[in-house]
Structure 1
Amino acid sequence: MAQVRYFAGARDAAGTPSEAVDAPTLGALLTDVTTRRPRLTEVLPRCSVLVGGVRTTDPAAPLGADVTVDVLPPFAGG
């Protein structure tokens, strides 16, 4: 099961800092979380998604059993 961690605005939209999701691919995971947490549909298009620490946009990216998926919205700062 993938451990999904949400940061900043993504955490606010998800309503939780993290959750476990059983999905074989990144696309399936994103479909699952947006179905259950519709506010994420507004935030996800602007987010970077890291699978195992590596940024990816490939919905076919396979998810291992114990992978961490980080959802990172753009950060402002200086």
Structure 2
Amino acid sequence: MPDQPTMTDRPIGQPTSEPTTGQDTQPVGLRYFAAARAALGRSEETLTVPPGATVADVVARLAAATPAAEPVLARCSVLLDGRRAAPADVVPAGASLDLLPPFAGG
């Protein structure tokens, strides 16, 4: 598989302006639900990120790639491998992130 653009190291929550390619990347599976799926126009994807990337890094990358989705992404809860994640949590190789916007119902 050819190298795909990835994030570069940067402070938490700061999107990169220059994607990089290289061997120091790892796959992360993403699933989007409800308004996040509608805002991003897809229900899932796999991104490559550098080792040490955080949940905030991944969300910032998504917001930078799809600016119209940023208001929804900013309000999403994130599950990392099925457990609630904090923005500073490091995303390990092969992890799965679920982005869940707030929703009401009963």
Place the TM-score, normalised by the shorter chain, in its bin: 0.7 to 0.9
For 1:25, the aligned partner's letter is T
Deviation at 1:45, TM superposition (A): 2.3
Work out whether 1:19 is the aligned partner of 2:48: no
Deviation at 1:18, TM superposition (A): 0.8
- Whole-angstrom distance in 2 between the partners of 1:7 and 1:66: 20
Identical-residue share of aligned pairs (%): 39
Q: Secondary structure at the match of 2:102?
A: coil
Structure of larger gyration radius: 2
Mark the runs of 5 or more structure 1 residues left unpaired by the alignment. Answer: none
Work out whether 1:67 is the aligned partner of 2:95: yes
Deviation at 1:49, TM superposition (A): 0.6
- Whole-angstrom distance in 2 between the partners of 1:2 and 1:25: 11
Instruction: Tell me the TM-score normalised to structure 2 length.
Output: 0.66
The equivalent of 2:75 in structure 1 is 46
Work out whether 1:3 is the aligned partner of 2:29: yes
- Whole-angstrom distance in 2 between the partners of 1:28 and 1:47: 14
For 1:39, the aligned partner's letter is A
Tell me the C-alpha RMSD between the 2 structures. 1.2
Query: Relative contact order: is structure 1 or structure 2 higher (C-alpha 8 Å, sep ≥ 6)?
Result: 1
- Whole-angstrom distance in 1 between the partners of 2:74 and 2:56: 13
Mark the runs of 5 or more structure 2 residues left unpaired by the alignment. Answer: 1-26
Q: Which has the higher helix share?
A: 1
For 2:91, the aligned partner's letter is L
